[in-house]
Amino acid sequence: MVDAHYDLLSICYVCYLKNDYTKIEKIAKEIKSNKEEIKCIFANLYFMSEDEMKNELHPSYYIQNVSVLDMFKIAKEILERYLPEIDFLYSIEGCDYIEIDDLELLYNEGLRSIIPVWNTENKYGSGNRTNKGLTKEGINLINQAIDLGIGIDLSHANLNTFYGIIEVIKEKQKLNKEVICYASHSNARILCDRERNLTDVQLKLIKEVSGLVGIFSNRNFITHNYNLNKEEQQLEYLKHIIYISNIIGIDNVMLSTDDMRFCGDIDPEYYELPIYDYSNIVHDTKQTLLKYFSLEDTNKILYGNAYSKIIDKLNIKSNRKCKKV
């Protein structure tokens, strides 16, 4: 399986700040127990407002005298130390605290994906809790990222910012530039009306630019009925996969966990959000998919699409050895 969104870099960096690696040790043990099945994880370093980061992550999670580049390098080194056999696609979620000129330095250290905005507004655009669109700086950011060979992740962008990013991607494609784009952790809004989920119009636009959607197993974005048992929740998850694949095609669907259990110290509800965890994710997800899809299509959804359309094209396997010259 490929997991298209997991905040592993943020978890590693918080462990570093606390000098307590218990959480990443536990996660690494879970992943290693599935080492024959878990092949690649989109590992994410994320940023929010400074107050949110202090309250939800660590008082020193982001301080101005430590660059995002240094945070990225520290977290990446820790993650590769604990999980040396896993392929990672390294991502930054919320580009609030990086400059456009930082992208090449980050690329050289292994960055291969950006989510320009998180839930709120920054200098590049607006997330799904705000209403503004992609800014001029945001256009420049997307152009620079594409030119470097960094994937563009559409998750979290509000409608105006989403449409702006799509327009930049289309302009690049008109120039015969290959653009790797996807919404790494987004579900169908028609099935679960949350602003983070995608409308049918958005899904069709992702199809137009040959993008993918990572359908994620967070209960809050699958159903509003929290009285369902686990099996019923899994079937609701399947509905999102079926619905989205019917719009964008079976070859453009992948899966993600956006596993937020590490925030359970703040709010115990986070422990209840994953429908799957790393003790059962491969077996149970596969069994759920096989209730509707063929084995061939199930394997595409589990890992094939992500590898052929994102991971191989971004040369993820050689990230640790190859740097841009």
pLDDT exceeds cutoff 90 at 34: no
First to last CA, the chain: 32
pLDDT exceeds cutoff 60 at 323: no
In this prediction, residue 296 carries a pLDDT of: 97
pLDDT in tens, 131-189: 999 999 999 999 999 999 999 999 999 999 999 999 999 999 999 999 999 999 999 99
**Which residue in this structure is represented by tokens 């949110």?**
52
Token pair of 226, please? 């929290």
**Percentage of the residues of the chain whose pLDDT score is greater than 90:** 79
Mean pLDDT (whole number) for 200-215: 98
Give me the sign of the Cα torsion angle 313, 181, 79, 92. Answer: positive
In whole angstroms, give the CA distance from residue 58 to residue 317.
31
In whole angstroms, give the CA distance from residue 138 to residue 207.
22
**Which residue in this structure is represented by tokens 């998850």?**
237
Amino acid at 234: Q
pLDDT exceeds cutoff 70 at 266: no
The side-by-side arrangement of strands in the sheet containing 87-93 is 2-6, 40-46, 87-93, 111-115, 151-153, 181-183, 212-216, 253-256
Q: Which helix (H) or strand (E) holds 80?
A: helix 68-82
In this prediction, residue 100 carries a pLDDT of: 97
Confidence (pTM): 0.94
pLDDT exceeds cutoff 50 at 322: no
pLDDT exceeds cutoff 80 at 1: yes
Q: Quick one: pLDDT band at residue 325, thresholds 50, 70, 90?
A: very low
Domain architecture of the chain: domains with CATH: 2-318 (3.20.20.140)
Is residue 109 within 8 Å of 118, Cβ to Cβ?
no
In this prediction, residue 317 carries a pLDDT of: 59
Hey, how many other C-beta atoms are within 10 angstroms of the C-beta on 85? 10
Q: Tell me what the pLDDT averaged over the chain comes to.
A: 92
Mean pLDDT (whole number) for 303-323: 75
pLDDT in tens, 46-85: 999 999 999 889 999 999 899 999 999 999 999 999 999 8
Q: Quick one: pLDDT band at residue 35, thresholds 50, 70, 90?
A: low
pLDDT exceeds cutoff 70 at 319: no
Amino acid at 86: I
